[in-house]
Amino acid sequence: MSVRLFAWMMIGLGLLLPVVGWQTASPVGFVGPVLALLGILLLVTWRGR
């Protein structure tokens, strides 16, 4: 798995978790935006060869 794919998967999961957390009334929804932010930061700061 490449770093770019991992970052996109983190962003996707980060966007999905708030929806799941909202439907189940679970605090997992607060983790989603943090994962999305980390994925974006990884894409911005990663220096591919």
Q: What is the pTM of this model?
A: 0.78
The tens digit of pLDDT for each residue in 28-45 reads 778 888 999 999 999 999
| Of the candidates 41, 43, 39, the residue with the CA atom closest to the CA atom of residue 11 | 39
| Residues 5-36 pLDDT 10s | 999 999 999 988 888 777 777 777 788 889 99
- Label residue 49 by pLDDT band (50, 70, 90): low
Task: Report d(CA 11, CA 17) in Å as an integer.
Answer: 10
Give which of 39, 16, 40, 46 is closest to 28, Cα–Cα.
16
